[in-house]
Amino acid sequence: MEKTDLKLRAFVAPTPTVIASAYDENGRTDACTLAFVMMSSHFPPCVTIAINATAKRKTLKSILQTGAFVVGYPSFEHAKEADYLGVETGYNADKLANIGFTTSKAKMVNAPIINELKLSLECKVVHTVTVGSHTQITGEIKNIQADPSIIDENGKVSMQKLDPMVYDEEAFVYHRLGEPVLDAFKPGATLKKALMQS
């Protein structure tokens, strides 16, 4: 079928929804909700986030000042609060206090963990670059903290229990993650073997 050219835009879907948090220069916690996030290295484990640099986001300033941040994964249980943290600015309000969220200092980096989130990656900034409207920040993951309630029998995080928010900026909605329907690497490996024997 003939393809259609779409209006140029960042294609933000489907993406995980996370909350980045950091201490500001007074030791207060900044936090903002993001959909620009990816894992970026296995060894050492790294995560990269991108934050709007032109909008002078308070959380961005704090991350660059302290060299540390936490990536937290909200569950749908906290969807309203997560959405609010992406809408309000820390220059106007004590965002976390407003929604009843509390924080603890991370174990391995100088950044705050939001206690109510069930999964948090403690990150040390190892690279930053500004490209276009956003600053990309790569953090080496120094520790992962999880609620025991979301851990399965293999010590891994159960997606069903985490119930993460998947963002879709085409329709401006959050999706629930659907059912697991296919094992990774098995169908590909089977196909590879069949092709090599044919």
The tokens for 169 are 């900026």
Alpha carbon 123 to chain centroid, angstroms: 12
The radius of gyration computed from the CA coordinates of the chain, to the nearest angstrom, equals 19
**Closest approach of Cβ 28 to a copy of itself, in Å?**
17
Name the one range near a copy of itself by CB under 8 A: 20-28, 57-65, 165-173. 165-173
Among 27, 56, 98, 102, binds a copy of itself (CB under 8 A): 98
How many angstroms separate the first and last alpha carbons of the chain?
31
Does an H or E element contain 126, and which? strand 119-131
119 binds a copy of itself (CB under 8 A): yes
Q: What is the DSSP letter of 28?
A: P
Question: Is residue 126 classed exposed, middle or buried when 0-12, 13-18 and 19+ CB atoms within 10 A define those classes?
Answer: middle
- The nearer residue to a copy of itself, 25 or 178, going by C-beta atoms, is 178
Among 64, 67, 110, 168, binds a copy of itself (CB under 8 A): 168
133 binds a copy of itself (CB under 8 A): yes
x/- binding map, residues 143-162, to a copy of itself, per CB under 8 A? xxxxxxx-xx--xxxxx---
Size of the site for a copy of itself (CB under 8 A): 107
Name the one range near a copy of itself by CB under 8 A: 19-27, 61-69, 142-150. 142-150
Query: CB–CB of 120/70 below 8 Å?
Result: yes
19 binds a copy of itself (CB under 8 A): no
Block residue for tokens 């959050």: 174
170 binds a copy of itself (CB under 8 A): yes
Query: CB–CB of 62/9 below 8 Å?
Result: no
Which of the residues 25 through 84 are near a copy of itself (CB under 8 A)? 35-48, 50, 52, 54, 76, 79-84
Name the one range near a copy of itself by CB under 8 A: 20-28, 58-66, 163-171. 163-171
Query: CB–CB of 48/56 below 8 Å?
Result: no
